[in-house]
């Protein structure tokens, strides 16, 4: 545009050069090879301020090669007076726009006004409702929201090593199998605890000094079935000589904690009941959970409601069942417990089970067990059964079908596991409700063949049981493969273990949907 304005101002000389040139190249060189008088176009050229082609001190201007080509391509009709005026007007319009833009850039107030006007215009022209919802990012987004929910087998060793392995790694086997390697341990180490929990399940870790720590399963080290795991001292702030004695998975939904209590059981047969909500907030360095005396250790901890019964089982084959109402709710976490069962010499509590409380007289229980054994094809030979020692007022009582069905709906079953790999499934009705603090009744018939009690668990037909030996072998099998037998029996083979090995831990795998 500037070159055309200069050409129009010197139109006669430009035409003479073009007419006298031998070819277009010659004309272009002559147009760019001389200085042109700019006249009144000078202010416009200075406004554009092209550093390569400025106006000289003598008020002259030297064209660029591009401008010369534009002049040579110019049509003759553009040389009329009207077109020449039009070229000047266009140049003044462009330079006016440049001057306005420069003034906007030089003034923040003008610049902000232009930006606002343009944004308002865009909003007016494109004012369609947004289809994508914009949500502010929560600053406290938990990492576990990104963790996939998956069932894990958590294994704890005697030397204080822990790991988690996907439950799918262990396939179910038939009763009496040899199992598979569950953890490679040193000679002085063996698996002492095993449980199944979701990756989002909070877990309480109780130490031998009565301190409790909390951690979710996904924070535990992930390993293979053969891996040893990671030491607790590298995961929790344990003091010297302190070790984990009880591991307790909690309900994942914390809204249910206010309606649940937690029952502690120690090796000396003492028990204590606290509200589960007392352990909702646990500091990073732990919290006092229970006061222990002498060589007393925590054996097991279970959640319960005020409509449950407690079953304590001992190493020497004794068990006691009493109502949760016999155990008041303690307000203090730093207190000792009260007697749950009176232990014989060299005996100790091995596990605690929670069963539903059912109001039934001794006569009704015996009658129900007699009728139920026929429908279950329960074995009643001398090898696996003995007569019940309870005294009843009548042995000829018959239940109505309505009462039988009512008792069946409230029936729980207890699976007892021994150190030699034996086990049995027995109706909880065979364990009569007594007062807290008694000597208990016989839980299982023990001998050199089946060893001592490892634990007693409340089970359903849909459950599976996992057993682990001190040699690191693990077996997983359906509970329904364990037949029903009487309380005073020695059970059947669950796990064929090697000579010198013993079952040291058992865990129940529960299908919550099926259990409901």
**CATH number of residue 11's parent domain:** 1.10.268.10
Measured between alpha carbons, how far is 365 from 432 in angstroms, rounded to an integer? 9
Q: Is residue 142 part of a domain?
A: no
What confidence tier does 390 reach under pLDDT thresholds 50, 70, 90?
A: very low
Q: Please spell the DSSP secondary structure of 225-244, one letter per residue.
A: TT---EEGGGTS-PPTT--E
Residues 93 and 199 in one domain: no
More confident residue, 353 or 334: 353
468/324 same-domain check: yes
Structural domains in the chain (count): 2
**Whether residue 344 sits in one domain with residue 197:** yes
Q: Which residue has the higher pLDDT, 4 or 108?
A: 108
On whether residue 271 sits in a domain, the answer given is yes
Are 500 and 399 within one domain?
Answer: yes
In this structure, is residue 194 part of a structural domain?
yes
Residue 380 clears pLDDT 50, i.e. is over it: no
Give the CATH number, domain containing residue 239. Answer: 2.120.10.90
Q: Residues 6 or more apart from 420 whose CB is under 8 A from it?
A: 449, 450, 451, 497, 502, 503
- The secondary structure element, H or E, covering residue 110 is helix 108-125
Decide: 216 and 225 in contact? Cβ < 8 Å: no
Q: Same domain, yes or no, for 101 and 159?
A: no
In a domain? residue 10: yes
DSSP 315: T
239 within domain boundaries: yes
How far is it, in rounded angstroms, from Cα 507 to Cα 194?
Answer: 6
Q: For residue 402, tell me if it sits in a domain.
A: yes
The verdict on 229 and 352 lying in the same domain is yes
Are 246 and 343 members of one domain? yes
Q: Do 331 and 466 have their domain in common?
A: yes
340 & 426 share domain: yes
pTM above 0.75? no
Model confidence pLDDT, tens digit, residues 216-249: 999 999 988 888 889 999 999 988 888 888 888 8
- In-domain check, residue 70: yes
CA–CA dist 36, 59 (Å, integer): 9
pLDDT at 125: 85
Q: Please tell me whether residues 367 and 456 are part of one structural domain.
A: yes
Considering the domain architecture, whether residues 43 and 159 belong to the same structural domain is answered as: no
Tens-place pLDDT, residues 42-87:
766 666 666 677 777 777 888 888 888 887 887 766 666 556 567 6
Q: Is the pLDDT of residue 392 over 50?
A: no
Distance CA 357, CA 306 (A): 9
Predicted pLDDT of residue 181: 57
Same domain? 41 vs 91? yes
- What pLDDT does 56 receive? 77
DSSP letter, residue 222: B
- End position of a domain, from candidates 70, 105, 125: 125
- pLDDT cut 90: percent of the chain above it: 24
Range of the domain at 280: 153-515
């Amino acid at each position: 545009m500037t070159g055309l304005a200069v050409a129009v101002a010197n139109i006669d000389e430009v035409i003479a050069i073009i007419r006298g040139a031998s070819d277009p190249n010659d004309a272009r060189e002559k147009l760019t090879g001389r200085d042109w008088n700019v006249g009144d176009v000078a202010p416009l050229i200075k406004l554009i301020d092209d550093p390569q082609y400025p106006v000289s001190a003598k008020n002259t201007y030297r064209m660029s090669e591009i401008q010369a080509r534009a002049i040579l391509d110019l049509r003759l009709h553009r040389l009329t007076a009207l077109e020449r005026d039009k070229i000047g007007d266009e140049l003044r319009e462009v330079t006016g726009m440049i001057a306005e833009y420069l003034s906007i850039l030089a003034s923040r107030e003008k610049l902000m006004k232009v930006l606002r006007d343009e944004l308002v215009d865009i909003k007016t022209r494109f004012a369609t409702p947004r289809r994508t919802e914009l949500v502010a990012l929560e600053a406290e987004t938990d990492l576990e929201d990104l963790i996939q929910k998956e069932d894990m087998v958590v294994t704890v060793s005697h030397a204080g090593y822990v790991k988690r392995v996907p439950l799918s790694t262990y396939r179910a086997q038939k009763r009496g199998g040899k199992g598979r390697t569950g953890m490679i341990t040193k000679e002085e180490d063996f698996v002492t605890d095993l449980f199944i929990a979701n990756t989002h399940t909070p877990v309480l870790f109780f130490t031998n000094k009565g301190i409790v720590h909390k951690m979710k399963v996904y924070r535990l080290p992930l390993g293979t079935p053969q891996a040893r795991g990671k030491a607790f001292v590298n995961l929790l702030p344990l003091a010297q000589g302190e070790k984990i004695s009880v591991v307790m998975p909690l309900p994942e939904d914390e809204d249910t904690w206010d309606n649940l209590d937690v029952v502690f059981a120690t090796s000396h047969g003492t028990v204590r009941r606290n509200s589960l909500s007392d352990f909702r907030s646990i500091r990073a360095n732990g919290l006092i959970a229970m006061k222990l005396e002498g060589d007393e250790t925590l054996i097991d901890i279970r959640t319960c409601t005020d409509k449950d019964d407690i079953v304590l089982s001992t190493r020497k084959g004794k068990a006691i069942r009493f109502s949760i109402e016999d155990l008041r709710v303690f307000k203090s976490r730093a207190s000792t417990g009260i007697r749950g069962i009176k232990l014989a010499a060299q005996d100790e509590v091995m596990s605690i089970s929670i069963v539903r409380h059912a109001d039934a007289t001794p006569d009704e229980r015996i009658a129900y067990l007699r009728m139920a054994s026929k429908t279950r094809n329960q074995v009643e030979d001398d090898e696996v059964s003995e007569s019940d020692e309870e005294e009843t007022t009548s042995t000829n009582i018959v239940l109505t079908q309505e009462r039988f069905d009512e008792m069946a709906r409230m029936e729980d079953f207890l699976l007892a596991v021994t150190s030699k790999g034996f086990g049995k499934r027995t109706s909880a009705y065979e364990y009569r409700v007594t007062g807290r603090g008694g000597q208990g009744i016989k839980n299982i018939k023990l001998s050199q063949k089946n060893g001592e009690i490892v634990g007693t668990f409340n089970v359903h037909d849909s459950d599976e049981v996992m057993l682990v030996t001190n040699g690191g072998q693990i077996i997983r099998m359906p509970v329904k493969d364990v037949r029903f037998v009487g309380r005073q029996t020695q059970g059947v083979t669950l796990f064929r273990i090697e000579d010198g090995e013993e079952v040291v831990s058992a865990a129940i795998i529960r299908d919550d949907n099926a259990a409901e």
